[in-house]
Structure 1
Amino acid sequence: MLMMLIVVVVVSSALLIGAAWGIWGNMSERLEGFLIAVAGGALVLSLVSELVEPAIAQSSLHVATGGVAAGAVVFALVDYLIDEKWGPDSGGGLLAAITLDGIPENLALGVALIGTGPAGVAALAGSIFLSNLPEAAGGAKEMASSDSGSRDARSKWRIMAIWGATAAILSLAAIAGNLLLAGVGEGWLAFIRCFAAGAVVASLSTEVFPTAFRKDHHLAGIATALGLVLAFILGQIGGG
């Protein structure tokens, strides 16, 4: 329980740090794009090694394939509705997209804490931290710039409070994934892990990598590869 709380706090704190950076700090578009690509690369490796591969070992290729496909379809449908309602480039749309992205990520993190070794938890938690930081910074920056009263300190704190609430929601997703699914059979647990992985993969292709390429198209590929390496290092450190 203590380990779960520590991991949840570390991961969720990235949203608060990123939001504060976006509101009061100075982040160039190229740096934001680079960091988002790093985060995406890290998530790719972590999802495959810590969620999909263990799920295949626990159940079967058919269960894992079905879970990934279902997660991707559900994410794509909900993401479409979010884009139609808020607009893909608005601050509200970014916040909704990050929340939608973060729920399966944190659910997967909570599930990963069930029977997963320190290496897997470290790699996945580190990857989600890297993902949350630049995404929150970019989203908060967009919200502040689109808010007519953004120069007012109360407006900035209001935006910060919104991101605090988002961090709380995603923390609850991780805790729920850990507590509510602890007694689930291995077959269903494998399906849930792959469902979460499929949703995150869909978010990477529709939200994360397109944003990274748009903001820093020269170094996006290198940054993605760097993210893969960082995730591998995180896993090795955790296993050591």
Structure 2
Amino acid sequence: MTFEDDTTVEPCGPDCACATSDDATDAEAADDDTRSSNRRGAVGAAAAGAGALSALAGCNSDSGGDTTNATSISGSGTTSADTGGSEETESISFTLNGEERTFNVSPDTPLLYVLRNEAGMNGPKFGCGLSQCGACTTLLGDNAIRSCVTPVSSVNGKEVTTTSGLGSTEDPSALQQAFIDQQAAQCGYCISGMIMEAESFLRENTDPSRQEIKQALNGHLCRCGTHNRIVDAVEQAAGER
């Protein structure tokens, strides 16, 4: 789903027809398994919700090089320095969330791989690897870019910002707080990219209409269907600037 569709998708309830069995005997036999599955699902949903709110508040920190929550990504199972078309490495330096950083990597390694595998950033996500979903969006200066298709060499000497560069869990930015207030996240996987796109947009347009917000975010995919809440959050943040 994209922002061209105003429909908000809500999770199925326990009485939803799509969850009922045509065979009453099978349904009765599966009842115990369903209760167990529901308990596991509830725990998983709670954990996912907590993780989504953490992402909104920008807790994807690279302090101390801790990469516990930054899942390594690679198209071939190799390290990020080995991904891409070249095996030669170079020293690439850029400002990441206000801090000068240097990485010894292949120059054509996607910026996303360097952010996650080398810098320990878990805000930008690997979604499609084709610049189609927006989950990897970061800022290059004031401009939103798709880091999954951006060679790290192209940001040498420049300024890159992820969600943790906007605010922290203790002190989120107005935009991050608006996403929390509006409960814009369900699974939360797309939210980091949404926030970075919205941040770039609001730096250029401080008083957007609802339709302009939708157009700005229309290149981002959210399969959970929380589009209306996301637009509400951006509207709230725009009103506070």
Normalised by the length of structure 1, the TM-score is 0.29
Higher helix share: 1
**Structure with max Cα Rg:** 2
Higher strand share: 2
